[in-house]
A and B are shown apart, each in its own frame.
Chain A
Amino acid sequence: MVQPRWKSALYFALFVLPGLALYALFFLYPFGQGIRISFTDWDGLTPRIPISMAKADFESQILNRLPRADERSFLLSIYHLDPADNQYKRYAATGLTRYRLQHLLRVAGFQPEGYKVVGFANYLRIFTGGVEERFYPHVFTQVNYNADSDLPATIPRGDFEKHFLARLSTPQDRELAFAFYSLQDDVYRLKARFDEFALEDRIWLLPEVAVKKVISSEKVDALLSSVKTAGLQKDQAAFNVAVSDFVASSPLSPAEAGEVKAATEQIYKLGALKGLLASTWVQQRFEMGVIGFTIFFTIFNVLFSNLIGFLLALALDTGIKSQKVLRSVFFLPNVLSMIVVALVWSFVFYNLLPALTGIDKWMGDPDKAPWLIVMVQVWQQAGYLMVIYLAGLSNIPTDVLEAASIDGTGFAARLRHITLPLLVPAFTICLFLSLSNSLKSFDLMYAMVGPSGYALGTIPFVMDIFFDAFAKKLAGLATAKAILLFIAIALITGVQLSITKRREVQM
């Protein structure tokens, strides 16, 4: 085609520019902004150009620092002094005006609070353990009982014996535990008469308190609370003083005084047991944290979805009659949105699985939740990988397989020496897709657990970024994390591609 040079350049621009402009506006520009934000402590709200500022601050921090008169007059054409509250206020500024303003603020060296350049501080924080503990894999102490609450009515047998009884050092302590709890139906139950209310009622129901009302309820309250505190602190002396004071200052018959002493004795022990339970019944738990869960999810999702996708493809490639229908069925979850998939499974976890198994807790159980999330992702993704593997299998020339078969090569040997080597390109693609999908998976966890995933340990990296950016007002830190994620994805998939590409064989 012979065209004047300017004309071909014009057409080049005409065709390329619309796409390029949109791409630059909605991707490249935000990308550049993202890099810049990752070096600031921006909270995601503070405008870069202040909307209003106190007069003195405005003049000393911005106006008087501008060297040129035209800059100052430009600034004052945007900001005006509001005499009502002695503040400089900004008119709406858009487009180029905005950029000129930003430039002037830079010249003046002004940075608003909440939008300061902090250099590599965000990155350093991530690498030096400066962000929340739950971001990293860590061991934490799970306290199962809080001394302020009532004694638990039942304690699971394993917990009671392993995590409590076995750790008690003295026979007296063990005796105390068995005074209150006994083994029934494989759980340890609090004996009814040692219930806190039952014990307190022995005082409250004394005729002097309940009927004649010669002892004020305040006095009983004071007695009970000091006895409990004494028990918690194992302070026998304080207990004795409290009880003898009470008995001495109350008109009680000797029998009633004895009852008060016996009941308070039990309440004292109850307090002591509470203290013991709170300090002893603790477990060291390992939590994967955001990083750990992301790695866990990625490893097992890549493993299982590829395994299942590959096995399904092998099964459907045997030439069974229902191949087309089955392929459609296995692929179906893939056209559904991750939100629908996640909610379908939550419905199953709340309604079907408890009815099938009798176990109520599925997603609520920190031991099961990470595995269930992997399962759902595998369910959605396996069909997709299956389709790619199927395409790979159909590319393997049948004559090679037939020749091997006639030579007496068994199925396993054909798989190992012919199918698998020829399928490496499909593995390359599937591994790449499942790796990068796993590292970027967000919708599934958002819909299945949401923010409560922090308690379950099922927050992936991208969701942590989301919460940092929009809930915790840490836009700078969030974007720094996103850039690190990008580097991680690029490194991991780069290594994977270079390894699997090398193993591809040419036909």
Chain B
Amino acid sequence: MSPIRRKRLRWLFEAFMILVAIIYIYPALFVLTNAVKPEADIKLHPISLPTTVTLANFAKAWTEMHFASTLLNTAIITVFGVAGILLFSSMAAWKLARTLGRLSWLLYLLFAFALVIPFQIVMVPIVSLATDLKLSTIWGIIPMYWGLGCPLAVFMYHGFVKGVPRELEEAAAIDGGGQVFVFARVVFPLLKPITATILILDALWLWNDFLLPLVVVKKGTLQLEQMHFYGMFLREYGPAAASLILSAAPIIVLYLALQKFIIRGIAAGAVKG
């Protein structure tokens, strides 16, 4: 193959892949273009680009989904849920990995055991538990996520801690640092790469989770309100499309800003999990 022909093929392939990407993402673009159209235009010309742009659909979706409070609820669950998972599991995993002995190995296995259990087995009992402990609220679901999120996080932290040299923490301890100090100032900063991975995985999980909120709190999170709203406005396509754009917007903005870390974190999480 001559270099010129090879170069031309390269460009052709590049153009082809860009076309594939546009087709791939077109369903999302289609919803976006229709979200700003008046209702009549969606029914008559769903494919064409909007001629008149309206934000009425967004206004309706915003108020009907109680978007501001819904977003706040979801943010509360995600922030506190992930923070708790990171804290409790890094503490536990560090001690489990640093303590030699049968007990700590057994406890580690006990955590790892949960990784293979489908949520459906605990689904029914956890609903009764939530009712008994009065945890069927936005704040109440947070400790549940701590408990349910710990196994994977402990597993990943445990694997990472074993690769971190002990010398630094030993030096800090000899210098008179207490265990809490050593953990907070020396160990936790060393765990940053795996913390980032777990943070991304768990933040996406909590933000996008549907089944646990559905059976426990029943309404108030973004995914639940989205589902409910779409069911109500099944035949009003404008607000339905606008609601989808609203619910997707926060996570897409975050994704576009942090895509490098997110993709890297997810790939790392998959390999380690």
Residues of A within 8 A of B (CB): 1, 8, 11-12, 14-16, 18-20, 22-31, 33-35, 37, 44, 94, 315-316, 318, 320-322, 325-340, 343-348, 350-352, 355-356, 379, 384, 387-388, 390-391, 429, 433, 439-440, 442-443, 446-447, 462, 465-466, 469-470, 475, 478-479, 481-483, 485-486, 489-490
Contacts and interface: CB of A to CB of B under 8 A. Distances in A.
Contacts of A29: 125, 129
Contacts of B68: none
A326 B14 CA distance: 10
Given A23-B150, A486-B117, A384 B266 contact: yes
A248 B225 CA distance: 69
Contact of B259 (A322, A328, A344): A328
A348 B33 CA distance: 12
A23 B251 contact: no
B31 A347 contact: yes
Given A19-B92, A34-B121, A470-B215, A329 B270 contact: no
B10 A320 contact: yes
B143 interface: yes
Contact of A352 (B47, B154, B204): B47
A245 B93 CA distance: 93
A403 B179 CA distance: 53
Contacts of A337: 207-210, 222-223, 226, 247, 251
A439 B151 CA distance: 20
Interface in B10-44: 10, 13-14, 17-18, 20-21, 24-25, 27-28, 30-31, 34, 42
Nearest to A490: B116
A11 B92 contact: no
Contacts, number: 256
A347 B235 CA distance: 10
B247 to A, nearest CB: 6
B240 interface: yes
B122 A328 contact: no
A440 B10 contact: no
Given A11-B179, A344-B27, A351-B42, A30 B120 contact: no
Nearest to A328: B259
Nearest to B14: A320
B183 interface: yes
The 6 closest A-B pairs by CB, nearest first: A26-B147, A337-B208, A33-B125, A19-B92, A482-B120, A30-B125
Given A1-B170, A23-B150, A391 B121 contact: no
B121 A31 contact: yes
15 contacts: A19-B154, A20-B107, A22-B147, A31-B122, A33-B125, A315-B17, A321-B14, A326-B21, A339-B210, A339-B223, A340-B247, A429-B270, A462-B120, A466-B211, A469-B124
Contact of B148 (A18, A27, A482): A27
Nearest to B204: A335
A19 B88 contact: yes
A44 B262 CA distance: 40
Interface stretch (B59-67, B94-102, B190-198): B94-102
A390 B271 CA distance: 12
B150 A347 contact: no
B13 A318 contact: yes
Contacts of A347: 27, 30-31, 34, 237, 240-241, 244
A332 B255 contact: yes
Nearest to B21: A329
B186 interface: no
B263 A327 contact: yes
A298 to B, nearest CB: 14
A322 B18 contact: yes
Nearest to B240: A347
Nearest to B147: A26
A25 B130 CA distance: 11
Which residue among A20, A337, A442 has the maximum number of chain B CB atoms within 10 Å of its CB? A337
B144 interface: yes
Contacts of A329: 21, 24-25
Contacts of A328: 255-256, 259, 263
A384 B200 CA distance: 14
B226 A483 contact: no
A339 to B, nearest CB: 5
Contacts of B92: 15-16, 18-20
Given A19-B146, A328-B263, A344-B28, 18 more contacts: A22-B150, A23-B110, A31-B125, A33-B129, A34-B122, A44-B124, A326-B18, A329-B24, A334-B266, A337-B208, A337-B209, A337-B223, A337-B251, A347-B237, A351-B42, A351-B46, A356-B47, A469-B123
Interface of B: 10, 13-14, 17-18, 20-21, 24-25, 27-28, 30-31, 34, 42, 46-47, 88-89, 91-92, 94-96, 99, 104, 107, 110-111, 114, 116-126, 128-129, 132, 143-144, 146-148, 150-151, 154, 170, 173-174, 179, 183, 204, 207-211, 215, 222-223, 226-227, 230, 237, 240-241, 244, 247-248, 251-252, 255-256, 259, 262-263, 266-267, 270-271
B143 A26 contact: yes
Nearest to A349: B27
Contact of B208 (A22, A28, A336, A387): A336
B122 A388 contact: no
Which residue among A16, A355, A475 has the maximum number of chain B CB atoms within 10 Å of its CB? A16
Contacts of A489: 116, 118
Contacts of A469: 123-124
A380 to B, nearest CB: 11
B255 A335 contact: yes
Given A347-B31, A482-B121, A443 B143 contact: no
Nearest to B94: A15
Contacts of A490: 116
A22 B120 CA distance: 19
Nearest to B103: A12
A94 B118 contact: no
A329 B170 CA distance: 46
Contact of B118 (A20, A336, A379, A486): A486
A331 B237 contact: no
Given A19-B91, A329-B25, A27 B114 contact: yes
A30 B208 contact: no
